[in-house]
A and B are shown apart, each in its own frame.
Chain A
Amino acid sequence: MNRLLQLGLLLTLVATVHAQVQHDFWPGRERVIPHVSGDEMWSGTYKNWKDSEAVKKSMAAGMMSRDINFKDFRWLEKSFDGELKVDMGREVFHRKSSNGRSCATCHGENGEKLKGWYATQPRFSAKANRVIVAATQISICAKEHLSEDWPENTRNNSLLDMYLAYLSDGRDVDIDVTSGPMKEAYEKGRDLFFKRTGHFHFACASCHTGVTTQSYLRGQRPSTFFGDAAHYPIYHFPYRLPGDDVEDIFTLQHQIKSCQMLSRMLPGVEGSRTLTAIEVFLKASANGYKMSIPTQEYNMSTGYLLRDGL
C-alpha cells in the first residue's frame, strides 16, 4: 500500500513534468515529405500516375487502377454532375445580397481576381490570425461583406468552394509549409493523420498507407494520401452527414469528417484548427500535382470494374 502510494506520487510527478501524453502513432511519420513525389516511398506507384500522360499510358498498358493509386477515375475523368455544381457555384458568386453586393463586386466578374488562388490554400490569414481553409475564407467574406451566414458545412459555402476550386483547374497545388504557422500546421496535421484514435483505435494512416491501399476494403478503395487533395472538392453521390445541409459536394473538410465517421473516430468540426491542420497535411502531400476540378466520387464510375475484372 505504502509502496503503491509512493509509486503513484512518483508517477504523478513524472506525469506533471511531462504533461504530454504519449499517443500511439501508426509507423512512418518520418518518411513523409510535403510533395506528391513522396509517394514513391509509400505505394511505389507514383511513376504510374504522376501526370495525365503517365495515367493514360498506365491504362493503355492494362494496369489495374490500384497500381495507378485510383487516380485514373478519381482524377483524370471530369464529372458532368460536377459541372452542374460549378454552374450553381458561379450563380451564388454573382448573386446580389441585400446590400446590393456579390462576391463578384470585389473579386471580379467570373472570379477574375481569384484565378489560381485555390491551388495555394490553406494559407495563414492575417485577419483570422491563424491558418484557414478556403471554406473559412468564404465564410468570413460572406459574413463581413454580404451579411450572409454561410459557415463551412453549408450548401452555399460548398457551392462557392467548388466554383473557386474550378477557377484553379489545371494549376499545380502549391502550398509552402517550410516555415512559420504553415509548417506548424503541416506537422500537426501529419501527426494527427498518423495518430491512432476512436473506438477501433485506427489512424487515418492505417487505411491510407501500406497493404490497405493495394487492397480492397470491401469494395472501397483507399489510396495513399498523396495527390488526392488536388481534386477536391468532388461531386459526391447525394449523401448527407448528420447536421449538414450539403449532400452532393464533398469538400476536403467534409471528406476528412466522413472518414472519421466511417472509422468510428470522433468527427471534427469543419474549419476547426484540427481539421484545418489535417487538410494542410493532405494538400501539402499534393504539392506539385495538377488540380482537376470537377471530378467525382469513384463509385459513380464503373469503368474500373471492367478493367479490374471484379
Chain B
Amino acid sequence: MRQFAKPLLAVAAICTAAAAQAQTAGSISGGDEMLDRIRAKWQPGGAEMIPQDVLTMFPCHDEELPCGKIPPPPVERVTFDGPLQGDAKRGEAIATNVRYGNCIACHILPGHEGGTIGPSLSEYSKRGMPLEYTYQRIWDVRAFNPYAFMPVYGPNRVLTDQEIRDVMVFIGTGGK
C-alpha cells in the first residue's frame, strides 16, 4: 500500500491539480520528507538566500527542466490541534524577517509598520478570530480564496507547524 500511495498521489495530483484538496493533519515538525529536505539545505532567517536546489523542488518557469513539469501543490485543508502554544518573540522574528515568514511585506503587524496588501493584523487579537480559521489562513489561504495573494506557507513547507503557531501567538490569535 505504501509503495503505491506515492506514485498514485503524484499522478492524481497531475490529473486533478485544480480539484485536488488534500487533507493533512497539519503537523510538520519533523519526519516530514519535504520539510527535512528543505531544512537540510537551508535555514530560513539567515543571510543566505534560498538556494537553487531547494527551488527546483517546486514548479518553475523553465519547461526544459524537470521542475517545469511539477504540478501545483494541492490545496491542503488542515485541522487545528490545540491548545495554542508558542513563543511570541520567535513569532515576531519570523513574521518580520524577509527571509523567513515575511508577513510584514503585506501586513501591518502589532508594533510594526508593514505592507498594505493584506488586511492589517495590528489589532487582530481584538477580533477574536477562531484558531482553526487563522491556522488554515496561514497554512493554505487557497482553502478560502484560490487567488488570495499570500504564500502557501504549509503546503510548500515555508514554515513549520510550530513556526506558524509562534506567529499566531505573536499576532494574538484567539484574543488575550
A→B interface (CB under 8 Å): 1, 4-5, 7-8, 11-12, 14-15, 18, 21-24, 26-27, 192, 195-202, 206-207, 210-212, 215-218, 242, 260-261, 264-269, 272-275, 278
B22 contacts chain A at the CB level, 8 A cutoff = no
Tell me the total A-B contact number using a CB cutoff of 8 A: 127
Max chain B C-beta neighbours (<10 A), residue from A5, A199, A261? A199
For A197, give its contact among B4, B50, B60, B117 (CB under 8 Å): B60
11 A-B pairs with CB atoms under 8 Å apart are: A8-B7, A8-B11, A21-B17, A199-B156, A200-B152, A265-B60, A266-B52, A266-B58, A274-B61, A274-B62, A274-B63
* Interface 0/1 of B125-155, CB less than 8 Å to A: 0000000000000000000000101011001
CB-based closest 4 A-B pairs: A200-B151, A24-B72, A266-B60, A266-B55
Q: How near does chain A come to B61, taking the closest CB pair, in angstroms? A: 5
Q: How near does chain B come to A187, taking the closest CB pair, in angstroms? A: 13
Max chain B C-beta neighbours (<10 A), residue from A24, A216, A269? A24
Whether the pair A22, B71 counts as a contact (CB closer than 8 A) is yes
Q: How near does chain A come to B154, taking the closest CB pair, in angstroms? A: 11
Whether the pair B71, A264 counts as a contact (CB closer than 8 A) is no
Q: Is the interface of B mostly helix, strand, loop or mixed?
A: loop
B→A interface (CB under 8 Å): 1, 4, 7-8, 11-12, 14-18, 49-50, 52, 54-56, 58-65, 67, 69-73, 104-106, 114-117, 147, 149, 151-152, 155-156, 158
Known: A11-B8, A201-B156. A268 touches B62 (CB 8 A): yes
Residue of A nearest to B67 (CB): A266
Whether the pair A12, B117 counts as a contact (CB closer than 8 A) is no
Residue of B nearest to A212 (CB): B117
Max chain B C-beta neighbours (<10 A), residue from A12, A218, A260, A273? A218
Known: A21-B17, A21-B71, A212-B117. A4 touches B4 (CB 8 A): yes
Whether the pair B115, A215 counts as a contact (CB closer than 8 A) is yes
